[in-house]
Every structure is written in structure tokens, then in C-alpha cells.
Chains A and B, each alone.
Chain A
Amino acid sequence: MDLRDSPEEAAFRAELRAWLAEQVPRHREDASPGAWTKALHAAGYTGLTWPAAYGGRGLAPTYQGIYAEESALAEAPDHVNVIGLGMVGPTIVSHGTPEQQQRFLEPILSGEYVFCQGFSEPDAGSDLAAVRTRAVATADGWLVSGEKVWSSYAHQADWCLLLARTQPGSTRHAGLTCLLVDMRSPGVQVLPLRQTTGDSDFNQIVLTDVPVPRDCVLGPVGEGWRIAMTTLAHERGTFGITLTARLAVEFDRLLRTVHDLGLADDPGVRAEVADLHVQLQGLRWTGQRTMAALASTGKPGPESSILKLHWSVTNQRLAAFALRLLGPAAVLDGPGSRAAGHWQHLRLRSRANSIEGGTSEILRGIIAERVLGLPRTR
């Protein structure tokens, strides 16, 4: 056990931090999709944990953790290819054919191919096995029809990792297949979903007889559930560390707001600030324990299931507290309001934290069944 960076990790962190300090302000203005991925790639910060044979650097997960933490702390641009690098790429490494690995991995690393994910549907949210999007076999592949929702970056994506039902009449986990769908295929329509904040971070994808060639099936036909679970397991890897570091950024912003409002001596404010800090520290160090388990066993330990759950609770608590600090001025919004409406926005946005990426109810169910060994709750 050693809770300090090793000399190699410290050097990596220092170099990355310096690079981010220089590059992040430069890229904040440049919103073109893939620009940040390309900059990261040129500097050698993509595919840190990918095997060298696939163009990665073959580093331990600890380095991915440092990258996730420092990027979030530096408020680096949200990474348009985060799904490709973090989830789809590793799935292709595990389950792709040599031809698919040849075709997709290098463009994912370089930012040439931006990926989105097509899993959730209007009637398949928490219950993902209820997927209804169907793929009908043709002479040279599949024709896909259906509707996917809550797909991040779909409007900017070149490719989609899609979960579809390939076996007619099948139900639940059987008969599903993962497909690599070219987003420029005929029959693909992307529509933005507008959230309570007014922003559109997610999309709906409508597929109408979209042709998918046979060589774009990822993994065996009918094994889509297992492949999709691999993809989602990769999401859990270092995402908790990213979320915690983003929360740390919000916490610093909260401290500035407390000072700006002249509330730093208010006993109630001091108690809540200290308490939020304790929650943040719990998340941070539990994230490091998760990382250690990932490094030694190759998969996140049971601690990892709590990170997203407790992050959402804490982020919501912080957002609610920050907005209350503004007093009656909290009713104002827009650029002229306190902190340019940041806390108003976060208050609204944070309510989705306990929904996106696994609802808190689903996560508690996972903990109860898989960690605590309780009987199934449904």
C-alpha cells in the first residue's frame, strides 16, 4: 500500500498537468468534433491502457486514473470520442476480428472515427434486455430498424455500437447482436433530445431499414448481451474517478461562491461545506481503492458500484446547497445572474445524475444482489 504517486506516476502527472494547462484554454473555443481527441492523440494521451499491439501505450490502469483525474480537474473539453476510446475500442480489442481491429482501432485512437452507443430504447431503459430494435438477415448482412434514445454524441458520431435483436421471436438476453453501424448509412436519422436545462446533450436515433454489412457484426451473432456487458464494464473502469474530479471542481467553485457572498463565517454554511468535503474525500479514496482492485484483478471491485451512486447523491446535494446560498437572487438566471447562472443550471442538470448511466434504483439493486448477496429484488 502506498498512497503517493510512484516516481513514474508523478512524472506522468506533472507532464500531463503542464500539457493540459497549456492546451485546455486553447481548445475551449474550438468546438469542432474530434479536435480535442486529435490533440490528445498527437501528445500520446489516447489509448493509455490499450495494448501496444493495438496502438496503445500498454500502461497500468493507474495511469488512466491519473489522466481521468487531471483532465477533469483542468476542466478539459468534454471528449467527443470518450465512448470510442473508453468503451467501444476496448470491446473491439476483446471481441473484434483482426480485420475489425485493423479497421477501427487506429481511427478511434486518432479521433478520425467518433463513436456513439445505441443501447437504450424508449421501452428498454433500466431493463436493457427489452431491446426491440430488430436486424433482419439479408444476402450480405442485416437491415436494421428501430429507435434508440439517450445516445451521447450521436449527432457528431461517425459510427455507432448498436444492440439489436437478430433472432426473430427471441426475448430478453438471447437473440441479441452487437453491430457496428456507419452513421452515414441510408435510413439513419439523428434527432436531438432537449433536457430540462434546455441543453441537448443526448440524441434519439431513428433507424429505418439501415443496411449493415456482415463484417460489421461485433462478436458472434446472438451473443450481443455478453458483448454489451463488456462495453458497460469498461464504462465503470475509471469513470468514477472522472466524476469525482469533476465534483472537486464544483466544490472549489462552491468555496468561491461562499466567499463571494460573504458567507464564509456562517456556522451553518461551514458545517455543510465541511460535510460535502468529507463526502468528496470518501469518493476520492474509494475511487483509488477501486483503481487498485482494477490494477490487480483486471476488473473493478465491488467498491466501484458505489462510486456513481454516491457521486450522484453528493453532486445533487452540492448543487442544491449552492443554489440556496444565493438566497432570493437564486430566482434569476442567465449571464447577468450570480456565477452566470451556473448553480441554476447545475441544480436542474444534477437531477439527471441519478438516472443517467444506471439509475440509483438499479445500482442499489446491483449492490444488494451482487455485493451483499441478497435475493433478487424482482
Chain B
Amino acid sequence: MDFALTDEQRDLQAAAARLLADRYPADRVAGMADAAAGDPDAWPLLRRQGWCDPDLGMVEMGLLAQEGGYALAATPWWSTVGLAHPVHRAAGLAVPPGPLTLAWQDDPAGGGCRAVRHRDGWRLTGVRALVTDATAAAALLVAADTDAGVALFAVPSPADGLTVEPQPTLDRLRGAARLRFADTPGELLVAPDAAGRALADARRHGSTLLACEAVGVARRALDLACRHAGDRVQFGRPIGAYQAVAHRLADSYVALELATSLALRACWLLGAAGNAADTTGSAANGPEVERAYAEAVVTGRRAAVRACEDALQVTGGLGATWEYPLHWWYRRALWLDCFDTPTTTHLATLADHLLAARPGPS
């Protein structure tokens, strides 16, 4: 057992932190968020830096996701590497070079997406909603119902019969879009027999990285709060010298550390399961991976929301202003807290396992 980062992993994380700190100082993050715009030049840079290398390990990706959350980097990296690339791998295809995203959610206002086979290929009609980074994507991977069940398709963007409608969002740095398909040609990537599994795997892969991103968000919020607590003087002392402030931040740190441990562990297990599946054709520790992912997501979300809310309290009137950038991290924490599978469902999955049978006598 050796739960420590290797020197290479440390170097990778430090290099990512430096790159993002240079490129995304807090005022630029706030500026981009104000304009609800991502960084259009980020993609070639991240590719050059190796952030999309197919041989990047899962722990390494988790570290990059952590730094992405810390910097609040407005890039399509997570949608591409976290959600879309696993679909290409499931399909046995090389990943294309451009930014991508995955669209599988129904519109909360109603409406799904169907695919029908024509003489010259598949055509998609309907709606997909809550799609991340859709405006930046060169291609969209779309889950659509067929007569044989759900299948996964690739649709280039732009395309005839495709409308990408950005939707106003709480977290302006990870926008959502509604996709409308009207007889839109799509390329079948994963057929119905395997698509359900591929979609679930991709969502789990993406959410495991989001647990890491949440760790980065929590760490940044805690850093902002600690800096303020050291600088801000009231009643003749820095406010961090008051126990009511210091102890709140210590508890925030506890939540952050627990989340860090479980996020890294979930990454490691998922990576190990992937390696085992590559060599033996099946992952021996599937249920353990499933639970570790649930544990990581739950603790990551809580740590991020908590750290931001504690930081909002500690930064006082400053933190309550639009100009102080903390609320952009808080908005990301709130996005993380509700994106995809709800926390209550993750806890229910764990309870199913824990209470399936009465443990024997000790």
C-alpha cells in the first residue's frame, strides 16, 4: 500500500497549477464569467501540454481536474476528456483532435431524442438538454433512442438540422445548451447492445473527475478565506486569530482532506479497473469502483459547497460583493452539487450495498 503521489505526478500537478495560474488570474476568470465566455484559445494549448494524451492515467487526469477546479479554467477539457473520450474508447475508435461533449439528458421541460436508420445512415430528431461546453465542441456525442434501445451517435457541429441553443446558467463558466435535432445525420458510434454500458461508464468517468474538480474548488475557496483571515484586521487583530473564524476554516480543511483522499482513491481504482479490463476483458473490482465513485462524488460536492460557504462567511462584506471573485467558485460548487446523479441516489446505492445482508457476528 502506497497512497502517495509519485514524483512524476507531483510534477505534473505543479506544472498544471503554474500554467493555469499564469493564464487564468482571478480577474480574468471574473471577466470571462461576466461575459459568459470561455477561453477560445485554450484548446490548442492544452493539447500541446499533453492534457488529452490517450495514455494519461486516471490519477493524472484527476490531478489536472483538481487544478482546473482550483483555477476555474474555462476550457472544454472536462467535457472532452471526462465525458466524450470514454465513448470513443468504448467504440474502439481513436479520439478525434477537437473539443467534444456528450449529450444524454432529456430536456427538463420535456422531450427526448430519437434516431432512425435511413438508407444512407442514421438521422436524429428531438432534443438534448443541459449539455456542457456544447458551443465549443467540434462534435457532439449524442445518446438517442432507437427501436433496439439507446445508442450513441456522433454529430459534427455545426451541421444541417442541428441547433445549439445556449441556456442562461448559474455557473457562467460551464454553460449549458439545448440541442435541437431535426433529421440531423449522425454517425453510429456505439450500438444499442453496448451503449447503455458505455454511457454509464462515461458518466462515471466524468463524475469521478468532477469529484477531483470539487477538491480543487474547495482548496481555492479555503485559500481565499485563509488569505483574507490573515489580512483583515478588526478589533486590532487579524480575524484569523479569533477561534470562531479559525475553527470554522479548520473544519473546512477536514472536509477538503477527506474529499481529496476519496477522489484520488476513486481515480486510482477506476484506472486499475480499466487496466484490468484491457488485459483480462473484465474488471474484477467493479462493485468497489462503483462505491468508491459514489463516496468520492458525495464528499467532493460537500467539501466544495462547504468551503465556499465558509469562505463567504469569513470574507464578510467583501465576499458578498459581485467584484470579489469567490462567488464564481461558489457557483461552480453549486453546479457540482447537482450535476447528474443526485447525492441522495449515490447514498441510496451505498445503502443498498451496506444493508443487503446482516453482517455475521464479530
Binding site for B on A (CB under 8 A): 1-6, 9, 62, 65, 75, 249, 252-253, 255-256, 258-260, 264, 270-271, 273-275, 277-279, 281-283, 285-286, 288-289, 291-293, 295-296, 303, 306, 309-310, 361, 363-365, 367-369, 371-377
Q: Once the chains bind, are B230 and A374 in contact (CB under 8 Å)?
A: yes
- The digit string for B205-242, where 1 denotes a CB below 8 A from any CB of A, is 00000000000000000100010011000000110111
> Can you list 16 residue pairs at the A/B interface with Cβ under 8 Å?
A1-B2, A4-B1, A62-B1, A65-B1, A249-B362, A253-B362, A264-B355, A271-B351, A282-B261, A289-B4, A306-B257, A365-B243, A368-B249, A373-B230, A375-B230, A377-B240
Which residues of B in the span 230-278 have a Cβ within 8 Å of any Cβ on A?
Answer: 230, 237-238, 240-243, 245-247, 249-251, 253-254, 257-262, 264-265, 268-269, 272
* Alpha-carbon distance between A159 and B298 when the two chains are bound, in angstroms: 48
| A295 partner residues in chain B, CB cutoff 8 A | 2, 4
* Alpha-carbon distance between A283 and B355 when the two chains are bound, in angstroms: 21
* Alpha-carbon distance between A376 and B241 when the two chains are bound, in angstroms: 5
Q: Once the chains bind, are B347 and A368 in contact (CB under 8 Å)?
A: no
Q: Once the chains bind, are B354 and A277 in contact (CB under 8 Å)?
A: yes
Q: Once the chains bind, are B351 and A273 in contact (CB under 8 Å)?
A: yes
Q: Once the chains bind, are B250 and A274 in contact (CB under 8 Å)?
A: no
| B262 partner residues in chain A, CB cutoff 8 A | 278, 281-282, 285
Q: Once the chains bind, are B359 and A255 in contact (CB under 8 Å)?
A: yes
Contact residue among A274, A285, A375 (Cβ-Cβ distance under 8 Å from B3) = A285
Chain B residue nearest to A4 in the complex (CB)? B1
* Alpha-carbon distance between A344 and B203 when the two chains are bound, in angstroms: 44
| B358 partner residues in chain A, CB cutoff 8 A | 255-256, 259-260, 264
- Contacts between chains A and B (CB distance < 8 A), count: 166
Within the complex, the shortest CB–CB distance from B208 to chain A, in Å, comes to 14
Chain A residue nearest to B347 in the complex (CB)? A274
| A288 partner residues in chain B, CB cutoff 8 A | 1, 3, 261
* Alpha-carbon distance between A377 and B299 when the two chains are bound, in angstroms: 28
Q: Once the chains bind, are B246 and A1 in contact (CB under 8 Å)?
A: no
Interface centre among A3, A62, A274 (most CB of B within 10 A): A274
* Alpha-carbon distance between A309 and B347 when the two chains are bound, in angstroms: 24
Within the complex, the shortest CB–CB distance from A342 to chain B, in Å, comes to 11
* Alpha-carbon distance between A288 and B298 when the two chains are bound, in angstroms: 20
Interface centre among A306, A364, A368 (most CB of B within 10 A): A368
* Alpha-carbon distance between A371 and B351 when the two chains are bound, in angstroms: 34
In the complex, B105 has a CB within 8 A of chain A: no
Contact residue among B241, B258, B347 (Cβ-Cβ distance under 8 Å from A286) = B258
| B237 partner residues in chain A, CB cutoff 8 A | 375
Within the complex, the shortest CB–CB distance from A260 to chain B, in Å, comes to 8
| A258 partner residues in chain B, CB cutoff 8 A | 355
Within the complex, the shortest CB–CB distance from B324 to chain A, in Å, comes to 19
Chain B residue nearest to A253 in the complex (CB)? B362
Contact residue among B9, B230, B259, B347 (Cβ-Cβ distance under 8 Å from A1) = B9
Contact residue among A5, A310, A374 (Cβ-Cβ distance under 8 Å from B1) = A5
Add 14 more A-B contacts to A277-B295, A292-B3 (CB < 8 A). A1-B9, A3-B265, A264-B355, A270-B348, A271-B347, A274-B350, A274-B351, A278-B295, A281-B295, A286-B261, A361-B243, A367-B254, A374-B226, A374-B240
* Alpha-carbon distance between A249 and B229 when the two chains are bound, in angstroms: 40
Within the complex, the shortest CB–CB distance from B327 to chain A, in Å, comes to 22
Q: Once the chains bind, are B2 and A283 in contact (CB under 8 Å)?
A: no
In the complex, B170 has a CB within 8 A of chain A: no
Chain B residue nearest to A270 in the complex (CB)? B351
In the complex, B6 has a CB within 8 A of chain A: yes
Q: Once the chains bind, are A365 and B247 in contact (CB under 8 Å)?
A: yes
Q: Is chain B's binding surface mostly helix, strand, loop or mixed?
A: helix
* Alpha-carbon distance between A278 and B258 when the two chains are bound, in angstroms: 9
* Alpha-carbon distance between A3 and B5 when the two chains are bound, in angstroms: 11
* Alpha-carbon distance between A65 and B2 when the two chains are bound, in angstroms: 12
| A291 partner residues in chain B, CB cutoff 8 A | 1, 3
In the complex, B279 has a CB within 8 A of chain A: no
In the complex, B344 has a CB within 8 A of chain A: yes
Q: Once the chains bind, are A3 and B249 in contact (CB under 8 Å)?
A: no
Contact residue among B3, B249, B259, B269 (Cβ-Cβ distance under 8 Å from A374) = B249
* Alpha-carbon distance between A58 and B149 when the two chains are bound, in angstroms: 60
Which residues of B in the span 316-362 have a Cβ within 8 Å of any Cβ on A?
Answer: 344, 347-348, 350-351, 354-355, 358-359, 361-362
- The digit string for B1-17, where 1 denotes a CB below 8 A from any CB of A, is 11111100100000000
Within the complex, the shortest CB–CB distance from A227 to chain B, in Å, comes to 28
Q: Once the chains bind, are A374 and B4 in contact (CB under 8 Å)?
A: no
Within the complex, the shortest CB–CB distance from A175 to chain B, in Å, comes to 28
| B261 partner residues in chain A, CB cutoff 8 A | 282, 285-286, 288-289, 303
Chain A residue nearest to B237 in the complex (CB)? A375
In the complex, B72 has a CB within 8 A of chain A: no
| A363 partner residues in chain B, CB cutoff 8 A | 250
Within the complex, the shortest CB–CB distance from B298 to chain A, in Å, comes to 5
In the complex, B59 has a CB within 8 A of chain A: yes
Chain A residue nearest to B247 in the complex (CB)? A364
| A281 partner residues in chain B, CB cutoff 8 A | 262, 295
Q: Once the chains bind, are A1 and B59 in contact (CB under 8 Å)?
A: yes
Interface centre among A264, A273, A363, A367 (most CB of B within 10 A): A367
Q: Once the chains bind, are B3 and A289 in contact (CB under 8 Å)?
A: yes
| A273 partner residues in chain B, CB cutoff 8 A | 351, 354-355
Q: Once the chains bind, are B4 and A1 in contact (CB under 8 Å)?
A: yes
* Alpha-carbon distance between A367 and B261 when the two chains are bound, in angstroms: 17
| B355 partner residues in chain A, CB cutoff 8 A | 255, 258-259, 264, 270, 273
* Alpha-carbon distance between A259 and B9 when the two chains are bound, in angstroms: 44
| A264 partner residues in chain B, CB cutoff 8 A | 355, 358
| B1 partner residues in chain A, CB cutoff 8 A | 2-6, 9, 62, 65, 288, 291-292
Contact residue among B5, B250, B348 (Cβ-Cβ distance under 8 Å from A368) = B250
* Alpha-carbon distance between A111 and B222 when the two chains are bound, in angstroms: 47
Q: Once the chains bind, are A292 and B4 in contact (CB under 8 Å)?
A: yes
Within the complex, the shortest CB–CB distance from A325 to chain B, in Å, comes to 13
| A283 partner residues in chain B, CB cutoff 8 A | 258
Contact residue among B222, B272, B347 (Cβ-Cβ distance under 8 Å from A372) = B222
